[in-house]
Amino acid sequence: MSAETPELSKPTTHQGILAWVEEIAQLTKPRDVHWCTGSDDEWVQLTDSLVETGTFVRLDESKKPNSFYCASDPSDVARVEDRTFICSVDEKDCGPTNNWMDPGEMKAIMRKLYDGCMAGRTMYVIPFVMGHLEADKPMFGVEITDSAYVVSSMRVMARMGSHVLRRMEELADAGEDVEWVPALHSVGMPLAEGQADVAWPCNETKYIVQFPEERMIWSFGSGYGGNALLGKKCYALRIASVMARDEGWLAEHMLILKLTSPQGVTKYVAAAFPSACGKTNLAMLEPTIPGWKVESIGDDIAWMKIGDDGRLWAVNPEYGFFGVAPGTNEHTNPNAMRTINKGNSVFTNVALTEDGDVWWEGLENPPAKATSWKGEPWTPESDELSSHPNSRYCTPIKQCPILADEYDDPRGVPIDAILFGGRRKTTIPLVTEARDWVHGTFMGATLSSETTAAAVGQVGLVRRDPMAMLPFIGYNAGDYFNHWINVGKDNDASKLPKIFYVNWFRRDEDGGFLWPGFGENSRVLKWVIERIEGQAAAVETPIGHVPTPESLDIDGLDMTPEAVTAALDVDVEEWKAELPGITEWFEKFGDHLPAVLWTELDGLKARLGA
């Protein structure tokens, strides 16, 4: 179908979508327009064409059926936080933690970039819904992209296709005001007549832009997941956090898991860790303690609303996992391995083995020879890594062998505990329980973590990453803290989840991890649940309640009692050293910072004797 004649065979009766697609086609001037159906045939056509252009390499059917290897341009491997903007009408609404530009100014710049940017390419229209199509208010979106890689990844990561469009039409025909998020993406590499394409088109100039008032996303220049699969970080976190503020709910960077005790008692836990700090691993955990069972509901994003019963109910708006590959193996995350071994997956920036499989650092059985993510010959003796540290697998959630049935329930699950966690070598104990909701909000608001390869920039720098949402809060972070405080104030605190602060990444003097992590994190989950049930003991410390060494189940754990004590230790001097950083952090927000957080800080200081 040609861009100029959509009226010949209207793919939808939804006038708003038709008009937007027409407007974008006029601006970007693609060779043709394809309305994505989400069908199996379409997947075959897309992936075949990606193989033909050299973007994908088909993996061996016996190892990873219907799966593909893909290497990006070496410059386009992660989220670009310095190129990410919140273009609110008023700069104050963007706040000090985000980049801002006047929306009119940004649109003028980007319209120039978009002008003719899809020349020689197909423009794909992807109708999608984040969360359930049967939700009270389905969260629709339409992504326009000129990247077939993005279409194939969106098909894994979000519920998309004709059925979504039909539902939007049905609701519109019934007179409902169907809201949907227009999400425009281009790799920013038009093709001149006869110009050959490259395997990973992208542009040095990148913009990842959210217009919060308009609930609109414009992305340019990158094909990387977090920058280009616009349903994920851009919609389900940045735009949704603004919707959540306006409507009284929470859009959070959290995994959701279901935990069942040996007695058959079920609890639901949500946990916020910054990118590449262990969400996917915890979400699919295989407990090492007998009789306990974990089932997954989500690994990255939780939308949480207060239910009629006063409890906080969470859904995972996504449909797939976009997981960090390096470090994933049969020991650390066997359920992720089982999920991806079922196939139907895309692997980006890992190594390709000679027998048509993929490999990455940390996976068992290194191949004698492989092709690195940079397309170079690689052997275990090579100095360079085979895979980029932020290489990813993109795999359907339905393939997860421990997916909880509740995953498909539009109501979601009632959350019993919220964990905040970061990657800190020192100071932060293995687990600390907040005294109450406000104290838990303080813990979240002051969360700090070392930067990782999930974003472009230096790795290993400690920075504040409030609620693991620093790059994803779509408005003023001070107002966001206030929103958290209000959720506690406006609701029955006894029904809200209890809040905990965890750190799997504390180190010993030799630089090794103090805590073995992964499946052993089930011991911490057990303590958390026992605290909620009023069963486990704790020591009251200046920073909150930490386990007594006896209350943490370390039966069968290969760890000295000294190491356990060190993992749980609250070092007053280390904590005093944290205080100036927290003060400086809070000062950034001026009037926007809720006063009760200053009160919390004063209380902490007093308890530390500072």
Ligand X SMILES: C=C(OP(=O)(O)O)C(=O)O
Residues found near ligand GDP in the complex (CB under 6 A): 273, 275-281, 299, 323-324, 326-327, 332, 504-505, 513, 517-518, 521
Residue 485 to residue 462: CA distance in whole angstroms = 25
Residue nearest Mn ion, CB atom distance: 280
Q: Give the nearer residue to Mn ion in terms of CB position, either 14 or 279.
A: 279
Sign of the alpha-carbon torsion through 162, 163, 168, 171 = positive
* 513 marked ligand binding residue: no
Considering only the stretches 10-18, 271-279, 326-334, 394-402, report the one whose residues sit in contact with Mn ion under the rule CB under 5 A.
Answer: 271-279
* 321 marked ligand binding residue: no
Q: Give the nearer residue to ligand GDP in terms of CB position, either 480 or 505.
A: 505
* 423 marked ligand binding residue: yes
* 521 marked ligand binding residue: yes
* Number of helical (H) and strand (E) elements in the chain, helices listed first: 15, 31
Beta bridge partners of 313: 305, 414
Q: Give the nearer residue to ligand GDP in terms of CB position, either 96 or 362.
A: 362
* 280 marked ligand binding residue: yes
Beta bridge partners of 219: 185, 208
The pair of structure tokens assigned to 427 is 């100071």
Residue 525 to residue 294: CA distance in whole angstroms = 10
Judge whether 218 and 206 are in contact, CB under 8 Å: no
Judge whether 350 and 373 are in contact, CB under 8 Å: yes
**HEC sequence for 175-244:** CCCCCEEEEEEECCCCCCCCCCCCCCCCCCCCEEEEECCCCEEEEECCCCHHHHCCHHHHHHHHHHHHHH
Q: Give the nearer residue to ligand GDP in terms of CB position, either 170 or 330.
A: 330
We find the least distance from the C-beta atom of residue 153 to ligand GDP, in angstroms, to be: 16
Residue 319 to residue 126: CA distance in whole angstroms = 15
The pair of structure tokens assigned to 73 is 């341009």
Residue 281 to residue 328: CA distance in whole angstroms = 8
Which of ligand GDP, Mn ion, ligand X, none interacts with 226 (beta carbon under 5 to 8 A by kind)? ligand X
List b or e across 327-361, with b for residues whose CB sees 16 or more CB atoms inside 10 angstroms.
bbbeebbbbbbebbebbbbbbbbbbbbeebbbbbb
Judge whether 203 and 114 are in contact, CB under 8 Å: no
The pair of structure tokens assigned to 583 is 């003060």
Which of ligand GDP, ligand X, Mn ion, none interacts with 281 (beta carbon under 5 to 8 A by kind)? ligand GDP
Residue 477 to residue 463: CA distance in whole angstroms = 15
Q: Give the nearer residue to ligand X in terms of CB position, either 273 or 586.
A: 273
Q: Give the nearer residue to Mn ion in terms of CB position, either 231 or 323.
A: 323
Residue 496 to residue 287: CA distance in whole angstroms = 25
Considering only the stretches 306-314, 320-328, 517-525, 602-610, report the one whose residues sit in contact with Mn ion under the rule CB under 5 A.
Answer: 320-328
We find the least distance from the C-beta atom of residue 517 to ligand GDP, in angstroms, to be: 2
Q: How many residues bind Mn ion (CB under 5 A)?
A: 3
Residue 234 among the catalytic residues:
no
We find the least distance from the C-beta atom of residue 71 to ligand X, in angstroms, to be: 17
Judge whether 203 and 131 are in contact, CB under 8 Å: no
Which of ligand X, Mn ion, ligand GDP, none interacts with 200 (beta carbon under 5 to 8 A by kind)? none
* 104 marked ligand binding residue: no
Q: Give the nearer residue to ligand GDP in terms of CB position, either 273 or 442.
A: 273
Residue 417 to residue 400: CA distance in whole angstroms = 23
Among 280, 328, 329, 372, binds Mn ion (CB under 5 A): 280
We find the least distance from the C-beta atom of residue 138 to ligand GDP, in angstroms, to be: 26
From 87, 94, 202, 277, active-site residue? 277
Q: Is 448 among the residues that bind Mn ion (CB under 5 A)? A: no
Which of Mn ion, ligand GDP, ligand X, none interacts with 79 (beta carbon under 5 to 8 A by kind)? ligand X
* 344 marked ligand binding residue: no
* 224 marked ligand binding residue: yes
Which of ligand GDP, Mn ion, ligand X, none interacts with 504 (beta carbon under 5 to 8 A by kind)? ligand GDP
* 79 marked ligand binding residue: yes
We find the least distance from the C-beta atom of residue 376 to ligand GDP, in angstroms, to be: 23
Considering only the stretches 199-207, 278-286, 382-390, 431-439, report the one whose residues sit in contact with Mn ion under the rule CB under 5 A.
Answer: 278-286
Judge whether 382 and 369 are in contact, CB under 8 Å: no
Terminal Cα distance for the chain, rounded: 70
Which has the closest alpha carbon to 277: 296, 249, 300? 300
Give the footprint of ligand X on this chain (CB under 6 A). Answer: 79, 225-226, 275-276, 279-280, 300, 322, 324, 454
Residue nearest ligand GDP, CB atom distance: 517
The pair of structure tokens assigned to 76 is 């386009």
Q: Give the nearer residue to Mn ion in terms of CB position, either 323 or 422.
A: 323
We find the least distance from the C-beta atom of residue 283 to Mn ion, in angstroms, to be: 8
* 422 marked ligand binding residue: no
Residue 177 to residue 195: CA distance in whole angstroms = 44
Q: What share of the chain is helix, strand, coil (3-state, %, to 5)?
A: 30, 20, 45
Which of ligand GDP, ligand X, Mn ion, none interacts with 278 (beta carbon under 5 to 8 A by kind)? ligand GDP
Which of ligand GDP, ligand X, Mn ion, none interacts with 151 (beta carbon under 5 to 8 A by kind)? none
* 391 marked ligand binding residue: yes
Q: Give the nearer residue to ligand X in terms of CB position, either 55 or 449.
A: 449
Binding-site residue positions for substrate? 79, 224-226, 275, 390-392
Residues making up the annotated binding site for Mn(2+) are: 233, 253, 300
Binding-site residue ranges: 79, 224-226, 233, 253, 275-281, 300, 390-392, 423, 518-521
Q: Which residues are catalytic?
A: 277
Q: Which residues lie near Mn ion (CB under 5 A)?
A: 279-280, 323
